[in-house]
Structure 1
Amino acid sequence: MPVSLSARSLRLVPLYAALVALGACASTGGTAPTPQVNALYGQLDQASKSYEKALQQAREGDNQGSQQTLSSALEQLKRASAQCGNSLGCDPQRFFSVYDRLLRLKDGSFSLGDDVEVSGEQVPEGGNAGKTGAASLPQAQRSVTLLHGQQLSELIAMNGPVKAALEMWLTQWRPNLMDAYINYQYLRFQMWPQYQNRDLPEAVLFGILAKESGGKVHAVSRSGASGPLQFMYATGLRFGLSSDGGFDERFDPAQSARANAEYLDEQLKIFNNNLELTLAAYNGGEGRMRRLVGDETSTSFYDPRIYNQLSQETRDYVPAVLAAAWLFLHPDSYNLRFPKVDGAPGNITLTRGASLTELTVCLGSAGGMNDGWFRTLRNLNPRLDPQVTLPSGTRLNVPKLLEKPYASRCTDGPWPILANDLHTAVVPVAPSPPPAAPAPRPSAPTKARSYVVKRGDTLVGIVRKVGCTDVQEVAQLNGIKHEHIRPGQTIKLPACR
């Protein structure tokens, strides 16, 4: 049960003291900082005061004002840290430490003190020493944090692997991240309710989707994992993803999200709500993770006893999912702008026969979709073959913003005619090449000669010496079965011309 705000507020004094101390220590030790650096360090003190103000606003019930105060403090720290990087003698890491804490507070995570108390139970002193991520939190707090979602950031340890994954999503994987976000927004109305039913964080759903398939409903991996959340066949069956009239339900976004939520819920219970271990089980197999972890479910995923025994794929997978989830929560804090997507669901009823490919052509870039609507139409209608012409009267799922463009562009006029002309174009089929002529057989032998088998001889080796016959011919000539010969045996060999 979540702790009341007043109770949590009373335990925040240690954090405030830590922030003030951090700001104070910024101006002591080593070479005396310049006036410019002192001014920047002063902004650390200001961030601490902003935190105190936000806390007071929260105590008074002004949650909106509290969030605005924190947002302003975060913006101030971003600007200051940028200036610090260009100022001799300034330590940017001090800004990042405060920034990270304020960012977590902005999520509603008011349990950062060392004396966190949950449901009246005091955390044993030193019980979480040296642990990171989910393992650094008491068990009851991990459960509340994960299952209530709003404090998910407490489960994500901002360590080296996660930071490296953040960089990948923001650079090399950035196009994949954007595609995944757009695809998810149109699938959200089907997938997110499945997570809500289990009280799981939406950011985790997005993180898994982004890493597994990029939001491509019909994705299939080399290992046979299928669907937007990449279920293996046997695991899918275990969670009710079977065949419905020949359709593999792993490709159904709603059913796949339901099964994924059930899987996570099951594994979170097994691993004591350790999200990192649960994600590792999802990627690397729950059986393997149970054997590695044993009864120590509070251990960190990064514990060498666990981490070093996992495949490179799983070692990369877990921080990649967490990093994508973190960016889903905090895009602005990483200079990332997700596009605005109106994912409201809608539907159309075809007034004339058309395939999904034809609809893609006649819809063009309606609604500002420069990449076209083919992927979205397929994702929202996963049971349909995109090349098959659907009869008039067929009802299709589409984003609501396409209802009017369909009526204006695809029911009459030049675009559906053009689309149909392209779709029905005949591509010449080249005739299959004639079968290759059989290789010429070796010259026919004229007569037979005798050969005495020596120790170590094989029928294949003897035939190679002759060079104009094959094993089958020699075996038939001598009545030999299974190529069995023995030393001293006299056999007949063809004599070549």
Structure 2
Amino acid sequence: MPSSTLAHRFRLAPLAAGLVLLTACATGGGGRPPASVNVLYAQLDQASKGYETALQQAREGNGQASEQSLEDALDGLKQAAARCGDTPGCDPQRFFSVFDRLLRLKDGSFFAGDDLDTLGEEAPEEAVAGAAALPQAQRSVTLLRGHKLSELIAMNGPVKAALEMWLTQWRSNLVDTWINYQYMRYEMWPQYEKADLPEALLFGIMAKESGGKVHAVSRSGAAGPLQFMYATGLRFGLNNEDGFDTRFDPSQAARANAAYMDEQLKAFNDNLELALAAYNGGEGRMRRMVGGDTDVSFYDPRIYNQLSEETREYVPAVLAAAWLFLHPDSYNLHFPKIDGAPGRITLKRPASLSELTICLGSAQGMDDGWFRTLRNLNPRLNPQAQQPAGSELQVPKQLEAVYASRCVDGPWPILASDLHSAVVPQVAQADPPPPSRKVRPHSRYVVRRGDTLVAIVRRLGCSDVQEVSELNDLKHHRIKAGQVLQLPTCR
């Protein structure tokens, strides 16, 4: 059970009262507004009344009608807000405040004024009935440690700025993440669901980390769809299996990420922003900054000003992507409909993933081709290596029939094989002289418990992970307590 302070911090003000106050502010005080503004504010008032209707319908067990009432209220609100900007004397911020609250209601926060801990034996029967009327999928998406995810996303300046980035410069990456995720969802989402974590959070992290590219590797050595560093991955069971780095496995990466987030949420008393900052910037550093004050805001200058620019951008970007996962239509964003049902094929003739991509072409409307999806679903395979006949491959179910019609017989597999076996002439060149590299004197360092190679190099300040790894003949940047490392001496 959360502490009383935490429960108070996470509890929204009663939304019905909040909406009434907002519309009252819109129509009273400061002189009488023009008639045209009053018309718009009347529509604002009507949108707020849509909440009352939706609440009553939810209590009556009519979840579908309740959802429709909220949709109608949002549509009316958006239309009025669009005219507000061109109407002298109209305050757009009032519309945004109601819009923000209605979106949170749409997530199922019908009883946000109640203490979330009281929705049990002592809760009013109509409240329990209303909550039960919500679709199970909706509840599983929005719950986080007993709180609605949308309650934990503050719609402040940094999150709004990140929303703009996702809807403009990062838009193609967001849509690509959505497409990639839909085909891997059956592997990744169950891992988060088992940990009682919201799917929107998983999507937000992946959007910012890799865009749903399973084989992504960063310059710092983070790898996989959720970008685990090697040492951190080992802590959560990601290791090498028969030469395959399981950080690249979507299911195992999602399991490890859920375990990591669960650990950090416990360490930071369910402060989601601090947990995300730890994921990006290092949990040790965050714990030192926060100390015992886990109620401190991520945006408190004592914390925010000490963070790297990357982490200051990362946290609101993840939250903004999660918010858009929940509310795409409300931001004029339309994710494509994807049939991500899993399937498999048994190769009737030898083929590589590259050859299959050529055979499949743009089947089922995939204009960019199926290479990325085939790689994501078969992460252990070298995409250029031919797999023998009889091999089983994971594919979207919709491709099973396409494979049988295009890639078993006919011209396409012949063309794909011919292109795949093409030989590129090798031009003999004289070996270039080895690059001159100034040899620096070395110092000795004894690895301490909790050290990582990245952290040691950062403290050193004059080298990089690759140099230190090569200097000490390290495999996978792995170190252990008590090991003696040779480090370049900084001058």
Q: Does 1:393 align with 2:390?
A: yes
Contact 1:351–1:392 (Cα < 8 Å) also in 2: yes
Which whole-Å CA distance do the structure 1 matches of 2:14 and 2:247 have between them? Answer: 49
Secondary structure at 1:89's aligned position in 2?
coil
State the match for 1:230 in structure 2: 227
In structure 2, which of residues 293, 305, 308 is the aligned counterpart of residue 308 of structure 1? Answer: 305
1:310-349 equivalence runs, <5 A: 310-349=307-346
In structure 2, which of residues 349, 360, 382 is the aligned counterpart of residue 352 of structure 1? Answer: 349
State the match for 2:101 in structure 1: 101
Which whole-Å CA distance do the structure 2 matches of 1:434 and 1:207 have between them? Answer: 47
- Structure 1: give runs of 5+ residues left out of the alignment: 3-10, 122-143, 437-497
1:232 to partner: Cα distance: 0.3
1:284 to partner: Cα distance: 0.6
Larger gyration radius, structure 1 or structure 2: 1
Normalising to structure 2: TM-score of the pair? 0.79
State the match for 1:60 in structure 2: 60
Number of corresponding residues: 404
Secondary structure at 1:23's aligned position in 2?
helix
- Structure 2: give runs of 5+ residues left out of the alignment: 3-10, 121-141, 434-491
State the match for 1:79 in structure 2: 79
In structure 2, which of residues 144, 147, 155 is the aligned counterpart of residue 146 of structure 1? Answer: 144
Which whole-Å CA distance do the structure 2 matches of 1:388 and 1:396 have between them? Answer: 13
Secondary structure at 1:231's aligned position in 2?
coil
State the match for 1:409 in structure 2: 406
Which whole-Å CA distance do the structure 2 matches of 1:351 and 1:361 have between them? Answer: 16
Contact 2:12–2:151 (Cα < 8 Å) also in 1: no
In structure 2, which of residues 220, 242, 246 is the aligned counterpart of residue 245 of structure 1? Answer: 242
State the match for 2:39 in structure 1: 39
1:34 to partner: Cα distance: 2.4
1:32 to partner: Cα distance: 3.3
Q: Which amino acid aligns with 1:234?
A: A
The share of aligned pairs that are identical, in percent, is 73
Q: Which moved more, 1:83-92 or 1:393-402?
A: 83-92
In structure 2, which of residues 267, 277, 281 is the aligned counterpart of residue 280 of structure 1? Answer: 277
CA deviation vs aligned residue, 1:309-356 (integer Å, no higher than 9, x gap): 111111110000000000000000100000011000000000000110
Secondary structure at 2:344's aligned position in 1?
strand
Secondary structure at 1:157's aligned position in 2?
coil
In structure 2, which of residues 267, 289, 294 is the aligned counterpart of residue 297 of structure 1? Answer: 294
1:89 to partner: Cα distance: 1.3
Contact 1:12–1:110 (Cα < 8 Å) also in 2: no
Secondary structure at 1:118's aligned position in 2?
helix
State the match for 1:119 in structure 2: 118
State the match for 2:266 in structure 1: 269
Which whole-Å CA distance do the structure 2 matches of 1:105 and 1:281 have between them? Answer: 30
Which whole-Å CA distance do the structure 2 matches of 1:146 and 1:371 have between them? Answer: 35
1:51 to partner: Cα distance: 1.2
State the match for 2:415 in structure 1: 418
Which whole-Å CA distance do the structure 1 matches of 2:432 and 2:155 have between them? Answer: 62
Which whole-Å CA distance do the structure 1 matches of 2:226 and 2:59 have between them? Answer: 41
State the match for 1:201 in structure 2: 198
Which whole-Å CA distance do the structure 2 matches of 1:264 and 1:435 have between them? Answer: 48
Q: Which amino acid aligns with 2:38?
A: N
1:433 to partner: Cα distance: 2.7
Q: Which moved more, 1:408-417 or 1:32-41?
A: 32-41
Which whole-Å CA distance do the structure 2 matches of 1:435 and 1:116 have between them? Answer: 71
Contact 2:143–2:198 (Cα < 8 Å) also in 1: no
State the match for 2:92 in structure 1: 92
Which whole-Å CA distance do the structure 2 matches of 1:189 and 1:371 have between them? Answer: 22
1:426 to partner: Cα distance: 1.1
Which whole-Å CA distance do the structure 2 matches of 1:22 and 1:432 have between them? Answer: 75
Normalising to structure 1: TM-score of the pair? 0.78
RMSD: 2.0
Contact 1:148–1:200 (Cα < 8 Å) also in 2: no
1:62 to partner: Cα distance: 1.8
Secondary structure at 2:393's aligned position in 1?
strand
Q: Which amino acid aligns with 1:255?
A: Q
Which whole-Å CA distance do the structure 2 matches of 1:318 and 1:14 have between them? Answer: 27
Secondary structure at 2:223's aligned position in 1?
coil
CA deviation vs aligned residue, 1:204-248 (integer Å, no higher than 9, x gap): 000000000000000000000000000000000000001000000
Q: Which amino acid aligns with 2:51?
A: Y
1:152-171 equivalence runs, <5 A: 152-171=149-168
1:120 to partner: Cα distance: 8.3
Which whole-Å CA distance do the structure 2 matches of 1:107 and 1:227 have between them? Answer: 30
Q: Does 1:49 align with 2:49?
A: yes
Contact 2:116–2:146 (Cα < 8 Å) also in 1: no
CA deviation vs aligned residue, 1:272-312 (integer Å, no higher than 9, x gap): 11111110010011111111111111111111111111111
CA deviation vs aligned residue, 1:2-27 (integer Å, no higher than 9, x gap): 9xxxxxxxx99953233223213212
Q: Which moved more, 1:286-295 or 1:62-71?
A: 62-71
1:435 to partner: Cα distance: 6.4
Which whole-Å CA distance do the structure 2 matches of 1:250 and 1:237 have between them? Answer: 9
Contact 2:277–2:314 (Cα < 8 Å) also in 1: yes
1:111 to partner: Cα distance: 4.3
Which whole-Å CA distance do the structure 1 matches of 2:332 and 2:156 have between them? Answer: 20
Structure 1 residues 301 and 111, CA gap change in structure 2 (3 angstroms): farther
Contact 1:218–1:227 (Cα < 8 Å) also in 2: yes
Which whole-Å CA distance do the structure 1 matches of 2:119 and 2:384 have between them? Answer: 61
Secondary structure at 2:181's aligned position in 1?
helix
State the match for 1:443 in structure 2: none
Secondary structure at 1:397's aligned position in 2?
strand
Which whole-Å CA distance do the structure 2 matches of 1:435 and 1:266 have between them? Answer: 50
Contact 1:241–1:250 (Cα < 8 Å) also in 2: yes
Structure 1 residues 73 and 372, CA gap change in structure 2 (3 angstroms): same
Which whole-Å CA distance do the structure 2 matches of 1:376 and 1:84 have between them? Answer: 44
Which whole-Å CA distance do the structure 1 matches of 2:12 and 2:56 have between them? Answer: 11
Contact 2:214–2:376 (Cα < 8 Å) also in 1: yes
Contact 2:362–2:368 (Cα < 8 Å) also in 1: yes
State the match for 2:381 in structure 1: 384
1:117 to partner: Cα distance: 5.8
Secondary structure at 1:262's aligned position in 2?
helix
State the match for 1:471 in structure 2: none
CA deviation vs aligned residue, 1:124-149 (integer Å, no higher than 9, x gap): xxxxxxxxxxxxxxxxxxxx951357
Structure 1 residues 287 and 435, CA gap change in structure 2 (3 angstroms): closer
Q: Which moved more, 1:23-32 or 1:375-384?
A: 23-32
In structure 1, which of residues 181, 189, 211 is the aligned counterpart of residue 208 of structure 2? Answer: 211
Structure 1 residues 221 and 434, CA gap change in structure 2 (3 angstroms): closer
